[in-house]
Amino acid sequence: MTTQAPRPHLPIGELLWAPVVHGVQLVPGGGDGTLIAAILCANPGTRGILFDTAEGLAQAPARLDEAGVADRCALSTGDFFRGVATGADYYLLKSVVHDWDDERAGVVLSHIRAAIPDRGRLLIIEPVLAEITTADGSPGLYLSDLNMLVNVGGRERTLEEFRHLCADSGFTLTRTVPLPPSTGFSIIEARPS
């Protein structure tokens, strides 16, 4: 297992736009629950489902309890390569898609498509590479792309590559919201096609 350098705190809970925060959120590959806890803290009317392997969820009960949201977040154990839990309005993937090549990422997205209601939304929080590299571009993202390829067989993607990956999995990319430049991330929104 490789460790990543710490990234600046992403205030995702505060950055998600209003329509997203009124419903049940499901975070596949959500690990210790840091992301879903931030969303639930910032949006008291929201409930969550944290989905990961048993090992991935090991620290989640303590994290959710510490954040005061354990009563609003169910834990669901599974493998997103075999399927994901149903019952959510929004499926949120952060730093998951770039861990995998297109085939494996497509499997995860296809399982989400099978589980998500037609009115639901998929939110992908990932770095987005520029379509054309410029001298003033972000070299860190390209180093991350190389790191993902060498260490786990994944890669960073351009917006057009995300568009194709989503389309191949039954989603239509609807918008992208860049997060603060210091984070290197964007929120990519897609809806079932």
Q: Is residue 5 part of a domain?
A: no
Residue 2 lies in a domain: no
Q: Per residue in 73-90, pLDDT tens? A: 999 999 999 999 998 889
Residues in the chain: 193
- Residue 4, domain member (yes or no): no
114 lies in a domain?
Answer: yes
User: Measured at the alpha carbon of residue 92, what is the angle toward residues 91 and 93, in degrees to the nearest 5?
Assistant: 125
Domain that holds residue 135: 12-192
Confidence of residue 23 (pLDDT cuts 50, 70, 90): low
Say which CATH number the domain at 80 has: 3.40.50.150
pTM: 0.80
Beta bridge partners of 177: 187
In this predicted structure, what is the pLDDT of residue 17?
A: 47
Q: Are strands 121-126 and 90-94 parallel, antiparallel or unpaired?
A: parallel
Average pLDDT of span 150-169: 85
In the chain, the number of structural domains is: 1
- List the alpha helices (DSSP H) in the chain: 12-15, 34-42, 54-57, 60-67, 102-115, 139-152, 159-168
In this structure, what token pair is assigned to residue 126? 């990932």
164 or 87: which carries more pLDDT confidence? 164
> What mean pLDDT do residues 103-121 have?
95
**Is 44 a member of any domain?**
yes
Q: Is the pLDDT of residue 4 over 50?
A: no
**Residue 173: inside a domain:** yes
pLDDT tens-digit map of 29-69: 888 999 899 888 888 888 999 999 999 999 999 999 999 99
Res 24 pLDDT > 80: no
Q: Is 98 known to be catalytic?
A: yes
Hey, what long-range contacts does 174-180 have (CB within 8 A, 24 or more apart)? Answer: 176/128, 177/15, 177/17, 178/128, 179/10, 179/15, 179/125, 180/8
Is residue 103 situated within a structural domain?
A: yes
Point out the catalytic residue in the list 22, 98, 111, 164.
98
